[in-house]
């Protein structure tokens, strides 16, 4: 019996050895899918894209075997660009590739594909895709305006049609040092009225936090189209004015040229989205970020009965932006409503001016003063509508005004606010109608305005600088878009009043109205 068992073990071992010596069939590389239809390469720079191998077990030498092949031709490389790097991604079968511009031309447009060197020659594996020099392409040149160029390429060139569903994309732009970076992201539409205009605004959500053009790292960024703004600088000027105050945070922004799927879209403003973050609205995860907006389209919202606004008459709309509506509990919603109700109750209470039990016990008065000054100086009537008006507070802290946002509609224009020619525009805006009833609050506003007036008086010089910086961009932008088309959303009347002017005439008008606002405010405070 023992002899039989030993024989069985021996034969089993031989069998297992034989099986192990049988070669497994080798994975055969048959196809590769490139995740972009167009790769735009900056002059003397690099562009990154991804491709997927559908036989992830296939082994090849990344440095020697993978090549970029001209779709129509016999060459393994172009004289204008080359495949400079290939490395494995964390996802099995996915690879990162990098194309480098060789600096000879900047207007090439080649059909290429991914190939692999084999003993019998190069095997083309991927469908062809376009490799385009920064200033080339069949859709016309990507014109140089002196502004940084931001490339947004959606996967397979997919259109961006939704404000809720993200499209997979790659964002390519220069960093603060001038080097080109490419980042995976999702992109969707955004805005209310602005989404209905021909030139679309977008929300970009990066896969990972990243710093863009020197601004602190974050996932979420906005590309504002400023379609209706003939000066292309209303938001820029507003954020500059806001940064001169004591408001806790003002969104940082940079002007860029946007190229979407190889097509030049004109001038855009890359700006930080209003989000709770240590580098943005710094109130911690448990803090509250409220928006008061007449569109009344927040997921968590209600009408507080205290006070009045232009759009609704009695009652003011509020929505909770943080805690995140997807995660907020019913208890947090109730606490947020009670916080607003207590604050509004104190503002409209019999003892509202009492420094100990009145409104000063519930709001950060200095922030409310500075917030009002920004809206008043810029002639922005949205404080009273209200539209895109924000408040925030840390857990158990006072309600604080800000940040500033959305200064393109009717700003520095008598077209929408003729009363601004001679008087204050936001004296009776929502809660401010009651706050200005307190002599102490009025005194604070007067004193604070005089304190920051020297800084505010530098803005005309800033406008002049922006005019020079944006001159070439404006020429291109208004060949692509007509801001006077905003009239169809305003009963057939243009909104800002400068839509049919030249860029320089519109800027001169903006500068003049700004200077007049400083004089009018001083006379009326």
- pLDDT 10s digits, 330-383: 999 999 999 999 999 999 999 999 999 999 999 999 999 999 999 999 999 999
pLDDT, tens digit (0-9, with 9 covering 90-100), for 454-477: 999 999 999 999 999 999 999 999
Give the model's confidence band at 40: pLDDT under 50 very low, under 70 low, under 90 confident, else very high.
confident
The pLDDT, as a whole number, for residue 2 is 52
In this predicted structure, the answer to whether residue 15 has a pLDDT above a threshold of 80 is: no
Residue position matching structure tokens 């002007």: 255
Of the pLDDT bands very low, low, confident and very high (cuts 50, 70, 90), residue 9 is very low
What is the DSSP secondary structure assignment for residue 451, as one 8-state letter? H
pLDDT at 77: 59
Q: What is the pLDDT of residues 152-180, one digit of tens each?
A: 989 888 899 999 999 999 999 888 777 78
Distance CA 355, CA 361 (A): 7
Minimal CA–CA distance to 109: which of 70, 74, 143, 144? Answer: 70
Segment 303-328 mean pLDDT: 93
CA distance 303 to 320: 12
Higher-pLDDT residue of 95, 321:
321
Residues 6+ apart with CB under 8 A from 353: 359, 437, 438, 439, 440
Q: In this structure, which topology does domain 32-133 adopt according to CATH?
A: Immunoglobulin-like (2.60.40)
Rounded to the nearest 10 degrees, the angle between the axes of helix 234-243 and helix 365-377 is: 150
pLDDT at 20: 46
Is residue 74 very low, low, confident or very high in pLDDT (cuts 50, 70, 90)? low
pLDDT at 123 over 80: no
Q: What pLDDT, on a 0 to 100 scale, did the predictor assign at position 289?
A: 98
DSSP letter for each residue of 315-378: EEEEEEEES-TTT--HHHHHHHHHHHHHHHHHHTSTTTT-TTTSGGGTB-HHHHHHHHHHHHHT
Examine the pLDDT at 11 and tell me if it is beyond 50. Answer: no
Radius of gyration of the chain (CA): 29
- pLDDT more than 90, % of the chain: 66
pTM: 0.82
Q: Which two tokens stand for residue 129?
A: 């895709």
User: 129-155 pLDDT, tens per residue?
Assistant: 888 887 775 545 577 899 999 999 898
Whether the pLDDT of residue 386 is over 60: the answer is: yes
pLDDT tens-digit readout, 238-255: 999 999 999 999 999 999
**3-state SS, residue 216:** strand
Collapse the DSSP code of 132 into the 3-class scheme (helix H, G, I; strand E, B; otherwise coil) and give the result: strand
C-alpha pair distances (Å), 285 with each of 177, 220, 277, 323, 334: 32, 16, 8, 7, 17
- Helix pair angle (234-243, 503-524), 10° resolution: 40
Predicted local distance difference test score (pLDDT) of residue 29: 61
| Range scoring the smallest mean pLDDT among 120-134, 306-320, 458-472 | 120-134
Mean pLDDT of all residues in 50-72: 75
**Of residues 205 and 29, more confidently modeled:** 205
Q: Where in the chain is CATH 2.60.40?
A: 32-133
Residue where the block lists tokens 């007036």: 453
Give the sign of the dihedral formed by CA 466, CA 472, CA 476, CA 479. positive
Q: Among 54-63, 149-158, 190-199, 334-343, which stretch is predicted with the lowest mean pLDDT?
A: 54-63
Per the CB < 8 A criterion, the answer to whether 97 and 89 are in contact is no
**Mean pLDDT to the nearest integer, 381-386:** 95
CA distance 413 to 399: 30
Kindly tell me if the per-residue pLDDT of 10 is higher than 60: no
Q: Looking at residue 46, what is its pLDDT?
A: 84
Q: Residue 41: is its pLDDT beyond 90?
A: no
pLDDT of residue 73: 64
Among 34-43, 198-207, 451-460, which is the least confidently predicted range? 34-43
What average pLDDT is seen over the chain? 89
């Amino acid at each position: 019996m023992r002899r039989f068992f030993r024989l069985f073990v021996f034969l089993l071992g031989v069998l297992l050895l034989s099986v192990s010596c049988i070669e497994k069939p080798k994975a055969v590389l048959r196809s590769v899918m490139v995740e972009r239809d167009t790769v735009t390469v900056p002059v003397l720079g690099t562009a990154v894209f991804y491709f997927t191998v559908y036989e992830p077990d296939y082994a090849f030498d990344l440095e020697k075997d993978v090549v970029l092949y001209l779709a129509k031709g016999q060459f393994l490389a172009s004289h204008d660009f080359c495949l400079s790097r290939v490395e494995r991604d964390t996802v099995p079968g996915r690879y990162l590739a990098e194309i480098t511009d060789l600096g000879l031309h900047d207007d090439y447009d080649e059909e290429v594909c991914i190939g692999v060197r084999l003993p019998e020659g190069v095997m083309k594996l991927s469908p062809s895709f376009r490799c385009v020099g920064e200033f080339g392409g069949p859709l016309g040149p990507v014109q140089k305006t002196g502004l940084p160029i931001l490339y947004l390429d959606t996967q397979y060139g997919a259109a961006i049609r939704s404000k809720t569903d993200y499209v997979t994309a790659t964002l390519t732009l220069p960093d603060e040092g001038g080097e080109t970076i490419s980042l995976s992201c999702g992109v969707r539409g955004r805005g209310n009225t602005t989404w209905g205009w021909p030139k679309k605004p977008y929300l970009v959500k990066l896969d990972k936090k990243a710093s863009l053009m020197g601004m602190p790292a974050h996932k979420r960024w906005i590309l504002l189209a400023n379609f209706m703004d003939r000066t292309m600088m209303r938001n820029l000027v507003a954020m500059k004015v806001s940064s001169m105050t004591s408001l806790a945070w003002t969104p940082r922004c940079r002007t860029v040229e946007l190229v979407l799927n190889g097509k030049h879209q004109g001038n855009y403003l890359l700006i930080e989205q209003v989000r709770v973050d240590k580098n943005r609205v710094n109130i911690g995860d448990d803090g509250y970020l409220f928006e008061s907006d007449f569109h009344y389209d927040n997921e968590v919202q209600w009408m507080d009965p205290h006070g009045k606004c232009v759009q609704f008459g009695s009652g003011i709309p509020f929505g909770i932006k943080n805690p995140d509506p997807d995660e907020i509990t019913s208890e947090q919603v109730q606490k947020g409503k009670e916080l607003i109700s207590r604050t509004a109750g104190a503002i409209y209470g019999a003892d509202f001016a009492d420094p100990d039990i009145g409104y000063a016990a519930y709001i950060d008065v200095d922030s409310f003063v500075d917030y009002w000054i920004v809206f008043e100086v810029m002639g922005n009537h949205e404080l009273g509508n209200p539209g895109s008006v924000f408040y925030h507070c840390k857990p158990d802290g006072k309600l604080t005004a800000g940040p500033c946002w959305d200064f393109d509609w009717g700003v520095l224009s008598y077209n929408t606010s003729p009363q601004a020619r001679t008087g204050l525009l936001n004296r009776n805006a929502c809660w401010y109608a009651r706050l200005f009833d307190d002599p102490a609050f009025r005194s604070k506003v007067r004193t604070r305005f005089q304190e920051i007036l020297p800084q505010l008086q530098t803005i005309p010089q800033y406008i002049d600088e922006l005019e020079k910086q944006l001159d070439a961009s404006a020429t291109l932008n208004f060949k692509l878009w007509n801001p006077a088309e905003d009239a169809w959303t305003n009963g057939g009347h243009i909104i800002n009043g400068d839509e049919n002017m030249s860029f320089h005439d519109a800027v001169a008008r903006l500068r003049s109205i700004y200077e007049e606002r400083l004089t009018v405010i001083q006379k009326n405070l």
